Amino acid sequence: MAHVPTHADSLNPDQGRWVKNRGQVGSTHREAKDKTWVGSSRLYPQSVRLTPEEHDMRILHTMLRVTDLQRSIDFYTQVLGMRLLRQKDYPQGRFTLAFVGYGDESDNTVIEFTHNWDTDRYDLGDAYGHIAIEVDDVYQATEAARQKGARILREAGPMNAGTTIISFIEDPDGYPVEMIGRR
């Protein structure tokens, strides 16, 4: 049975799912004795990963339709530091899938690019928000992205009505990418 989150639970950004808080008050994931987490989970220091008995689902990937596959791969690998994890052509369907991310798909949520060979433009609409990437230094990461040719949508600085440092850049197809500073 799926776990229903309460106010005492936390969202695990590494696994894309809610987790029950189990103690470890005041410790970060790097200090936790069981070493269950890696990544940005220090935002949720009291959380641990759900066991398969507690939850049998997780977010695998987010899909973006892209008009130039190599241009998108280059942007996400060269500007954002991801790796190309796999790529496959589907000639009968006239499309190619490619997956990029910061780690193996078995443990990390990744981005899937779908390149439909006969489509040269997409209407992004106004419902989609953005992808968020955690970085050590938003100011430095934003400047590095600028130097690599990324369009800056919002300069680095505190978020509106808050203190978290963020910026927004745009990928080659116009999808916004938020950079958020580590806490």
Residue 9 CA to residue 104 CA, distance in Å, equals 26
Annotated binding residue 155: no
Give the closest residue to 165 by CA, choosing from 173, 174, 156: 156
Q: At 142, give phi and psi (nearest 5°).
A: -65, -45
Query: Annotation-wise, does 115 bind a ligand?
Result: no
Helix boundaries (H) for 75-150: 138-147
Cα first-last separation, the chain:
33
d(CA 19, CA 49): 6
Closest listed residue to residue 81, CA positions, set 140, 25, 14? 140
* Active-site amino acid positions: 178
**Rounded CA separation 109/115 (Å):** 20
Q: Residue 65, exposed/middle/buried by CB under 10 A (0-12, 13-18, 19+)?
A: middle
Q: Is 31 part of any known ligand binding site?
A: no
Binding-site entries: 112, 130, 178
Residue stretches of the annotated binding site for Zn(2+): 112, 130, 178
